[in-house]
A and B are shown apart, each in its own frame.
Chain A
Amino acid sequence: MSEITQHAKLPDKNGRFGQFGGRFVPETLIPALSELEEAHAEAICDAEFTAELERLLCDYAGRPTPLYRARGLEDETGGATIWLKREDLLHTGAHKINNTIGQGLLARRMAKQRVIAETGAGQHGVASATVAAMFGLDCTVYMGEEDMRRQRLNVFRMELLGARVVPVSSGSRTLKDATNEAIRDWVTNVDSTFYILGSVVGPHPYPAMVRNFQSVIGREVRAQLLEAGEAPPNLLIACVGGGSNAIGLFADWLDDDINMVGVEGAGHGIDTASHSATLSRGAIGILHGTRSYLLQDNDGQVQLPHSISAGLDYPGVGPQHSHLKETGRVTYTSVTDSQAVLALQRLSRCEGIIPALESAHAIAKLYEMAETNSIGESDRVVVCLSGRGDKDVEVVTEHLDAHPEEDLR
């Protein structure tokens, strides 16, 4: 129990989760990160700040999100009790807005007129552009060229919201490179600019701060089950890109005696070169200011990840997840592109819910666990449905055109 309880106390004052985390950044960012750490610590103790955060999460974003008992899915998976935490019903269509409202409020509190963000799937970019529009802040979003192609709809949404979307053509032209470019912008414009980071990655205090803003997910689950007179779950499942929706669901439950599973993108398979299963296949390294698991070659060069889901297509992972893996508190596993596309189609048919490809990874793991009898009638499972699938229809269509045998139509 003492081992478990320690999770709630992390990170330590140096931003470490065990050996993971820290602040491996150019010196220019150190004063800015210290300032941000202080501002965040002050804000969360300020009743006015937390009241406004709560009000916006409720009136603007649409919290609390439903905890939906998925009986159609239960029928398909043979007996376990299953709830879907419907983050897909939030304004802008994913959990990302929980974090951008929090950071947007902080930006305003710190009197920054300009915000920047990196984005992969475009969900975090849209959530940042949305909040910037609401607060009247100037917004620039960095996005890899490859992702701009995959997620055209979200590019258009960000532009409608008044943001400038800057295409990033270096490296793999995806989330990793967009993050490099956002950090370079921040190093250059550090006085005027607030960097709204989109997941529980990056230098301290981001992994802790983003977790705090996302942990509303798991807290709500607890309150909703209690209110419904339900016993607690014994299993939580969420997809893991950087890991923010997963930590958001897990954080409030780390001290409870329940199992947790994080699902990464296995792409074409974890034994191929094309996957983004950082925790399953990576090695400890340093990228984007934090020490964590990382997909890299023997020379320490970062490898290009692959996932059909742009939001999981990242070679790193949040440092707290590395710690939760190392301590064995959370089990990390992965499903392939094909499994995710199949799960997306199946959930659409059995529940009338089209999940984001990212979230479909969590659903696919649920199907797999049911098929291998890893879950059964006595299990009570909460799955984080982190986002809705509208943004993905083009990518899914492309995939099904190439693999007609996987098409359920």
Chain B
Amino acid sequence: MKTSDRISSAFAAGREASQPLVVPFITAGYPTATSTVPIVTALAASGADMIEIGMPFSDPLADGPTIQHASEVALRNGMTVGKTLEAVREIRASGTDAALILMGYCNPVFAYGVDAFIKDATQVGVDGLIIADMPPDEAGEFLVSCRAVGLSLTFLVAPNAPDDRIRKVDGASTHFSYCVSVTGVTGARSAIESRTIEFLQRMRKLSTKPFVVGFGIKKPEHVMTLGPHADGVVVGSAIIDAIESVGGAGAVVVDAVNAVSTLVAPLCAAARQATMTAQRREA
């Protein structure tokens, strides 16, 4: 399938079924140097139509302790941008057709070289990018280069943004936007705050694109609560926690794969029950 068509068809399928996508996140190179390919293929097999793969950075300032830890382990395992792209190539070679989104920070991408990165990412079968410390105001040439090759670029939308800012950020995203559930860093929170739902309702009015919501989503009930208000829910730190519970950096890859599948299956089941709002279906 052509790059970024996978994104459109993932959202289209979700909309058809009136159910939000479950979008798992895993840091490349965590828990081991060779675990990324089996984990991502298992996630796809568990029903994830879109998967985020984190490119580790030494200074992940949008991340809480859990993903910071995963990044540290991954860097210790020797993970690089180049090796992350290599893992994507292998994932595609194994026949996985889920939309794959790389998530990371500016510096490793710029060090790789923007043009080379965009070219190589497209070539190995990456569908989209999220760069946590690159707001649209700083994306200028990067965005143009992505557009030129059909690589999707997603910007984060924050709940404290005024309406006009939300429109601007959402407008800059290629296919979909990513709503940050609360002001703060990534990490599993115990409860969903009511203002998150208010934010998503505001987003629904202002946005012209599908959007996912992430940061702090961990349990099936979170998916049930937020799912109706978004086109997808991202689950990140909970995945890392699940792998930590079977040994983290010392985990056997099969155990990590099982832990992740065991976590994601009930989340996908919850998503099937979380019917998206009527408003969305009409959109």
Contact = CB atoms under 8 A, between A and B. Distances in A.
| A, B co-complexed | yes
Contact of B133 (A14, A24, A177, A189): A24
Nearest to B137: A23
15 contacts: A22-B138, A25-B133, A26-B133, A26-B156, A26-B158, A27-B157, A28-B158, A170-B72, A184-B64, A188-B184, A190-B183, A285-B111, A288-B61, A299-B108, A301-B75
Given A180-B59, A298-B111, A299-B111, A286 B106 contact: yes
A188 B180 CA distance: 11
Nearest to B131: A24
B112 A170 contact: no
A7 B180 CA distance: 38
Contacts of A27: 135, 155-158, 161, 169, 180
Contacts, number: 113
Nearest to B215: A28
Interface string B107-133: 111111000000000000000000011
B138 A23 contact: yes
For chain B, the bracket of interface size reads: 35 or more
Interface string A187-221: 11111000000000000000000000000000000
Question: Of B80, B81, B158, B161, which is in contact with the most chain A CB atoms at under 10 Å from its CB?
Answer: B158
A155 interface: no
Interface of B: 57-62, 64, 68, 72, 75, 80-82, 105-112, 132-135, 137-138, 155-162, 165, 169, 180, 183-185
Interface of A: 14, 22-28, 30-32, 170-171, 176-177, 180, 183-184, 187-191, 283, 285-289, 294, 296, 298-302
A296 B161 CA distance: 33
Contact of B165 (A14, A30, A180): A30
Contact of A28 (B58, B109, B138, B183): B183
Given A31-B161, A187-B62, 5 more contacts: A27-B157, A27-B161, A286-B110, A289-B133, A301-B107
Given A27-B135, A300-B110, A180 B160 contact: no
B64 A30 contact: no
A300 B61 contact: no
Nearest to A284: B110
Given A27-B161, A28-B160, A287 B59 contact: yes
B111 A300 contact: yes
Nearest to A316: B59
A183 B61 contact: yes
Given A190-B160, A301-B58, A286 B135 contact: no
